[in-house]
Structure 1
Amino acid sequence: MTAPASPGGGSVRPEVALAFAVVGYVALAIFGLGMTSLVTNQEVISVPGLGQLPGIVGMTLSTAAFAGGLWAAVRRPHPSFWGVPGAMLGAFLGYLVGIWGAAVIGGTDLAAATAAMGMLATSWFGLVVLAAALVCAWSGIALVRTRAGRPRWPWERDDE
């Protein structure tokens, strides 16, 4: 039995590709931030007194922006890989704005919140967020574009 084709011509529906890509993005970004912190011996947010809330809000907004950017790309009849930069930029800016906003709302002064955002934007941590978004957006679009089917055992094939 053959799986129904998605509107984009591939065998993976855009909603499913979006779900896989978003879950992959969150996992890869959190892993990447943690490993970068371990390797560089730095905290992701090194401004004292900010706590955990800015990181949580930043990752949440980053994920929402990534999902929105990727959804705009994969819902088209024939998605283009030119949607990748939009998803990357959304994820990166969502992360920075979320950290800055949560720090300000949490009672941190503007200078400390801006310093935290600036350090993330110009460090390896910002690059990790961009790289995770690149890999996952590309993968999500590729899932919709390709005509790959599910793996089959030799006796399941129709060629015999």
Structure 2
Amino acid sequence: MAFALAADVALIVFGSGMLSLATDRDVIDTPGLGPVPGPLAFGAAALAFAGALWPALRADRPRYTAVIPVALVSALVHLAALWILALVFGADLATATAAVGEAATSWTSAVVAGAAAVSGWAAIAVRRTAAHRPQWPWEREDDDE
């Protein structure tokens, strides 16, 4: 779970940075918003990703389709957190709503949802393989005894 959360955060940072570089545009380009609500909203999306993925990983054999609601929850929490945090950090209602509208209609929400889908799929794949920690040959139980 910890690796999936770290991967989600890394993919959000990477995806946002690369798309910002490619489009020559800020990640959230709403005048009057301030620098704090955007990164905190990404953090809230990552926490929502972890919270939504946890029940899926607890199943004996998790299904890959569980990443769909995980990605949706992550993207929706990002938008809700952006709106709330914009208001908390001093933006007016119109600025907060404009920031959410911009994030929802640009590539920002796609990055958040895509990062959650990829990280969630990888976590489910690892869980389905029932992977264990590596062992030295002398740590393994022999069947010959």
TM-score (normalised: structure 2): 0.87
In structure 1, C-alpha distance between the alignment counterparts of 2:20 and 2:43, rounded to whole Å: 19
Equivalent residue number for residue 86 of structure 2: 103
More helix by share: 2
Displacement of 1:151 = 7.0
Displacement of 1:80 = 1.3
Equivalent residue number for residue 70 of structure 2: 87
Superposed CA RMSD in Å reads 2.0
Regions of 4+ moved over 4 Å:
147-153
Q: How many residues align?
A: 140
Equivalent residue number for residue 96 of structure 2: 113
Equivalent residue number for residue 47 of structure 1: 30
In structure 1, C-alpha distance between the alignment counterparts of 2:130 and 2:60, rounded to whole Å: 14
In structure 1, C-alpha distance between the alignment counterparts of 2:61 and 2:85, rounded to whole Å: 38
Contact 1:65 1:94 in 2 (8 A): yes
Contact 1:72 1:83 in 2 (8 A): no
Gaps of 5+ in 2: none
TM-score (normalised: structure 1): 0.80
Gaps of 5+ in 1: 1-17
Please give the secondary structure, in 1, of the residue aligned with 2:95: helix
Q: For 1:36, give the aligned amino acid.
A: L
Q: Does 1:22 align with 2:5?
A: yes
